[in-house]
Structure 1
């Protein structure tokens, strides 16, 4: 890969827009190279109280791909920014095609001046810088290690028995589908534990029926129930009637005259 070095020194900006109201501007510049494979973004120190004519005399170095340079894909951008108490304010920027700089370059460092365009598109002020291209040289292409390649390769997941590259949605011959669950109510059968019946399962609204043999204790008849009370009352009434009849018979016998004069007188 053919490359070419570029060295530049940003001298100053002149007659740029004043974005401060009551004090002189503190201005710095951000220099970047767009269109390059490697992103370059550098900045100058802040010129305190530089106002509308800040000065930096700050140098930068870039390594450019010669193919991108010849195809006019590289742009040098210089952005001017004012530092304020409550934040930063953009003043404007200059955009320069790097191929244009190469065509105008000689053997010695060249000084140029370009217009600064404000955010709304109106030109205001200029920036001045010097630049110099170095001799073209060859650089090896970046080689990624095998582990880096595998880490960035997409991972393809296939079902069991599927062959990579096959477009069929069915498994190849000899590969069986996994067993499918049988339809049901979704509850596994429950076994009785410690002699108690399993809880009744939800059905269609019928009450659960308790089957014999699940360990429930036998139910004993309750004492003092309504049937025993009725039987006792019936027996008591019958006994009273019998006793009443006997008393009535005894009374009738008291008026009987046996003809012996009221006693056994021999």
Structure 2
């Protein structure tokens, strides 16, 4: 495989779209080669030009090695993305895409560095500002062809499968797996002692001889209450004696109170008549 070294200098840009609202932009560039690329192209970053606004300057060199055949077949593209460095997340300003074939045709058989200016396209698709670069191709050289190996799909086969053999030979013969059991009597005749062809026979109602006699019900469908016989209270004699004693005691107390009231009234009348004179 024939290859070429490609040296590029990202020089400067001007009249870029301002994506900041208050402060001046801090701008940097990301550079890589996109396309059918046999030798891996890593993305390279320029330093950040602080407070440059819409006219950053870098003069930053980057180097690539390209496949000469892929470049001449227009399968490689130089991609330069311009971004604003911000604390709340970087924001894209625009990008430049240049076919490597275009650079080859412009370089020709020259030995000196070539200069080129390209328009910057914003994310919305409009052109705003320009980017200046310089580039130079080196002499061809032969390098071993390095292609990226595509990942092959991974397929899982049962144990005993051999590549190229038939699929049927890889599976166990019929009867090797356990037979399923069924919980439904109709699905599995004779299951759990049931007779084949259906569910077990249940007893018929009403049973022979009729239902057993039910208790009688009163008004409203409720059973009539059953009265329980009263049991004699214990210690009946003692209660009667206690009642008689309490009556006698109460009578004596009432008699004493009446006597005391009578005596008081007599004394009061006597004292009133003797001691007071109105």
Bin the TM-score by the shorter chain: 0.5 to 0.7
Q: Kindly provide the CA deviation profile for residues 67-97 of structure 1, in whole angstroms up to 9, marking residues without a partner as x.
A: 2111101111111111223221111111111
- Match of residue 97 from structure 1: 99
Match of 1:32 in 2: 32
In structure 2, the partner of 1:136 is 140
Q: What is the TM-score normalised by the length of structure 1? A: 0.60
- For 1:28 and 1:59, the matched residues in 2 are separated by 13
1:75 alignment partner in structure 2 = 77
Is the 1:79–1:94 Cα contact (8 Å) retained in structure 2?
yes
* Counterpart in the other structure of 2:52: 50
Q: CA–CA distance in 2 between the matches of 1:123 and 1:180? A: 70
Cα deviation 1:9-48 (Å, max 9, x = unaligned): 1110011111222221110111111012323311111100
Contact 1:15 1:126 in 2 (8 A): yes
The answer for unaligned runs of 5 or more in structure 2 is 184-190, 201-278
Whole-angstrom CA distance in 2 between matches of 1:100 and 1:94? 13
Say if 1:185 and 1:65 are closer, same or farther in 2 by CA, change over 3 A.
same
Secondary structure of the residue that 1:94 maps to in structure 2? strand
* Aligned mates of 2:87, 2:33 — CA distance in 1: 29
Instruction: Find the partner of 2:113 among 103, 109, 114.
Output: 109
Instruction: Confirm or deny: 8 A CA contact 2:158 2:170 kept in the other structure.
Output: no
8 Å contact kept, 1:113–1:127: yes
Taking a change above 3 Å as real, the CA distance of residues 182 and 85 of structure 1, as seen in their structure-2 partners, is closer
| 1:165 correspondence with 2:169 | no
**Structure-to-structure mapping, 1:1-266, within 5 angstroms:** 1-35=1-35, 36-37=37-38, 38-105=40-107, 106-142=110-146, 154=154, 157-160=157-160, 163-167=162-166, 169-170=168-169, 179-181=176-178
Name the TM-score, length of structure 2 as normaliser.
0.58
Aligned residues: 185
RMSD of Structure 2 on Structure 1 (CA): 3.2
CA distance in 1: counterparts of 2:179 and 2:102, whole angstroms: 76
In structure 1, the gaps of 5 or more residues are: 187-200, 207-266
State the alpha-carbon separation in 2 of the partners of residues 27 and 100 from structure 1: 27
